[in-house]
Amino acid sequence: MTFTKVGTTIPLEKLLNQYRRNRKVLGTRKLLFTGVNAMDVYNICQPFVYDGDILLPGRVERRDSEISEVRLFRKVCVDTYEATRYRWPDLQDPFVTQVGDRYVLGGTHIDHEDGDITAWRTRVFAGKRLDDMKHVFDAPHKMKDVRLVEQNGVHVFTRPQGGVAGRGKIGITYSESLDEITTEQLTSAPLLTHQFTEESWGGVNQAIVLDNGLIGVVGHIAIMSRGDVRHYYGMVFTYDPQTKQASRLRIICERADFGIQRAKRPDLEDVVFTGGLIRHDDRTATVYAGVGDAGAHTLRIPDPFLTDERL
């Protein structure tokens, strides 16, 4: 597939204006969680089915701390989830997918001392059963937002920072097997071009194989304003693994689309972290997101991949 050539990067302000002219929010809900002793649950990803239960991964931590764990929550009614025994200490911002007959779960693993985070990198686990999950690989030091999807092997999206990657750009590499992915391979993954300006950054949160063989990518794009105030928006693009080309980014949600949510800190009030989405047969999709680094919400929108899936 040959996408329209992108000669220059579209500034975030223009992407936002394009989104706001065509915004169509079909509904939003705030999720409730039990069994976590009043701690915050946020930066959820899309749910998955396991032994007949709908399980939702989420980041769990105190409001005054970023020392977190990832837990799985079982859906008990429309908006309510209860904590299960499945938990991964010192993990943030989870993702989940399947490769072959194995569940794959990962997130940002942190090292910490005296309440301060001293190091981080993406860590990935896999297993045929949740009780059998084993460590598979780590990303390079300080690399968040590594995500993968199975398609005749495994496509792996990376997110280096520094040097030519600036504040954070998206890379892509391929491995024939989940077990053959290495830290060195992630370090050298080629970068996708013309996605972010020098002032902005972003990353992948979920990758989905579309019916026509393209890969639909769900992620975030962010920028910092005066006073180190963060602004995060949900975005999508499409990647062609044959031509190694990517479509232009499109914003799919912003903080104003969601309901009431007190933020963790004032500098995080305009943060939406789109962990993933579920596509529906009625041409809509449900976005699963963290809001304000303090709560978990869903947003119903038109399916953002329908047009590219028809290409």
The one-letter code for the residue type at 1 is M
Domain locations in the chain as residue ranges: 12-309
Tokens at residue 143, please?
A: 């690399």
SS3 readout for 189-254: CCECCCCCCCCEEEEEEEEEECCCCCEEEEEEEEEEECCCEEEEEEEEEEEECCCCEECCCEEEEC
The Cα angle at residue 221 between residues 218 and 222, in degrees rounded to 5: 150
Q: How far is residue 240's CA from residue 214's CA, in Å, rounded to a whole number?
A: 5
Instruction: Name the E strands within 44-99.
Output: 48-50, 53-61, 69-75, 80-89, 91-99
- Against a cut of 0.95, is the pTM above it? yes
User: Cα dihedral sign for 136, 141, 147, 148?
Assistant: negative
Nearest to 160 by CA among 178, 181, 141, 174: 141
Determine phi and psi for 46, rounding to 5 degrees: -70, 145
Give the model's pLDDT for residue 1: 60
CA distance 115 to 132: 30
Cross-strand partners of 38: none
How many angstroms from the chain centroid is the CA of residue 131? Answer: 24
Angle ∠(197,19,24) on CA atoms, nearest 5: 155
**Closest by Cα among 126, 133, 127, 131 to 148:** 126
Per-residue pLDDT at 220? 99
| CATH code reported for the domain at 12-309 | 2.115.10.20
Q: What is the pLDDT along the chain (311 residues), one digit of tens a residue?
A: 655 545 579 999 999 999 999 999 999 999 999 999 999 999 999 999 999 999 999 999 999 999 999 999 999 999 999 999 999 999 999 999 999 999 999 999 999 999 999 999 999 999 999 999 999 999 999 999 999 999 999 999 999 999 999 999 999 999 999 999 999 999 999 999 899 999 999 999 999 999 999 999 999 999 999 999 999 999 999 999 999 999 999 999 999 999 999 999 999 999 999 999 999 999 999 999 999 999 999 999 999 999 999 87
* Nearest CA among 244, 245, 259, 248 for reference residue 292: 259
- Which residues does 56 contact at the CB level (< 8 Å), separation at least 6? 31, 44, 45, 47, 72, 73, 74, 75, 81, 288
pLDDT computed for residue 8 by the predictor: 75
